Amino acid sequence: MSIRVLLADDQTLLRTTFRTLIDSRDDMEVVAEAANGAEAVELTRAHHPDIVLMDIRMPGMDGLAATAAICSDPDMSATRVLILTTFETDEHVARALRAGASGFLGKDITADDIFTAIHTVAAGEALLSPAATRSLIARFLAAPESDTQLAPPERLADLTAREKEVMTMVAEGRSNTEIADQLVVSPLTVRTHIHRAMTKLDARDRAQLVVIAYQTGLVQPTPPGL
């Protein structure tokens, strides 16, 4: 079954390029295109795509507001948002993750990067690489905006000690294989712990699990300058 993708970008040429690439695949297809955030929300509600490739800077409702609208609406809970940005070190990336985005891509990526990213996010994984950007994300996720409340530590009460341990490693940017090697367990066991934590915390994917880890204080942000 094909992965259904919605493109949201105000640049017609870029949308056309992405559509051509994605529609060339047998395992994914573009179901709609939006030129701004409001259209992205409306078309997501109408088409229920698996993935929205969302630009941040768009006229009217921008990609951040659109991401928040999509991710907070129970009727669109099955859709995951993958942010497209020219600035991988922009704090907008972290704001988008807070809003519920599952990860981000720079616009200078290759076709293979796009395909891999779509598959990764569609599978419920977070796209938080490279490591340098994970450090930036850690700093911003721990600093709430004026209208954002930190999650109370009590939210983690139902997690087992091992689930908290694995969640901490996920938030530090480690892969399932790296976590498995450190804990001397199989990657499948790690994946099971991650999914149990996601279920208990009502997290839609791995990226939201990272947000909760920082906002509850389970993981501390990277000090500025490090």
For residue 177, what pLDDT is reported?
87
pLDDT tens per residue across span 65-99: 999 999 989 999 899 999 887 655 456 767 777 78
Q: Does position 132 have pLDDT exceeding 70, yes or no?
A: no
Q: Does position 5 have pLDDT exceeding 90, yes or no?
A: yes
- Please give the share of the chain, as a percent, with pLDDT higher than 70: 82
For residue 139, what pLDDT is reported?
60
**How many angstroms separate the CA atoms of 226 and 205, rounded?**
28
Task: Label residue 221 by pLDDT band (50, 70, 90).
Answer: low
More confident residue, 176 or 126: 176
For residue 37, what pLDDT is reported?
95
For residue 161, what pLDDT is reported?
95
Task: Label residue 192 by pLDDT band (50, 70, 90).
Answer: very high
More confident residue, 120 or 53: 53
For the chain, domains (ranges, CATH) are 3-127 (3.40.50.2300), 153-215 (1.10.10.10)
For residue 202, what pLDDT is reported?
87
Mean pLDDT over the full length of the chain:
84
Tell me the range of 24-28, 102-106, 146-150 where mean pLDDT is highest: 24-28
For residue 146, what pLDDT is reported?
47
Rounded to two decimals, the pTM is 0.70
Q: How far is CA 189 from CA 153, 156, 167, in A?
A: 25, 20, 13
Q: Does position 114 have pLDDT exceeding 70, yes or no?
A: yes
pLDDT tens per residue across span 193-214: 999 999 999 887 787 888 888 8
For residue 130, what pLDDT is reported?
44
For residue 137, what pLDDT is reported?
58
